[in-house]
Amino acid sequence: MIGALVVVVQVALVALAVYGVVLTVLNRPPDAWTKRAVGVAVALLAVQAVIAAVQVFSGTTLPETTTFLIYLVVSVCVLPIALQFATAEPTRWGGAVVAVGAIATAVAVWRLQGLWVPGA
């Protein structure tokens, strides 16, 4: 994994979580900007997942490869699911759903970084 990309992804996820909380506090349902922000975060996560998967499948050995790959898949899937829930019935709590999804994804990415110990 690329350290700088992990930092960019984490910053994007924290910003998305803050945006979700702000929407909730302002009593607004998720809007088009929420969808765009989630799209950008998911695109960054997909790039990270592809890079990591290529490295793993091209021979990088990890102590817990299966766990790493599961976290990799989860990190890409959580935000689209959260966005689906948030926009299915647009209420003020949609922003909170996106914020929780962003925080959960940030934790998954943090765990991915901890599992990335090549050659161990």
pLDDT tens column, 68-103 = 999 999 999 999 999 999 999 888 899 999 999 999
Question: Residue 107 and residue 39: Cα distance in Å, rounded?
Answer: 19
Contact 112, 52 (CB under 8 A): yes
Contact 8, 68 (CB under 8 A): no
Distances (CA, A) of 39 to 11, 16, 33, 77, 98: 15, 11, 10, 12, 12
Structure tokens at 24: 């909730």
Contact 13, 75 (CB under 8 A): no
Which of 19, 46, 56 has the alpha carbon at shortest distance from 34?
19
Say which residue, 3 or 73, is predicted with more confidence: 73
pTM across the whole model: 0.92
Question: Residue 79 and residue 101: Cα distance in Å, rounded?
Answer: 5
User: What is the mean pLDDT of the segment spanning 104-119?
Assistant: 91
Question: Residue 73 and residue 19: Cα distance in Å, rounded?
Answer: 24
Structure tokens at 92: 């003020």
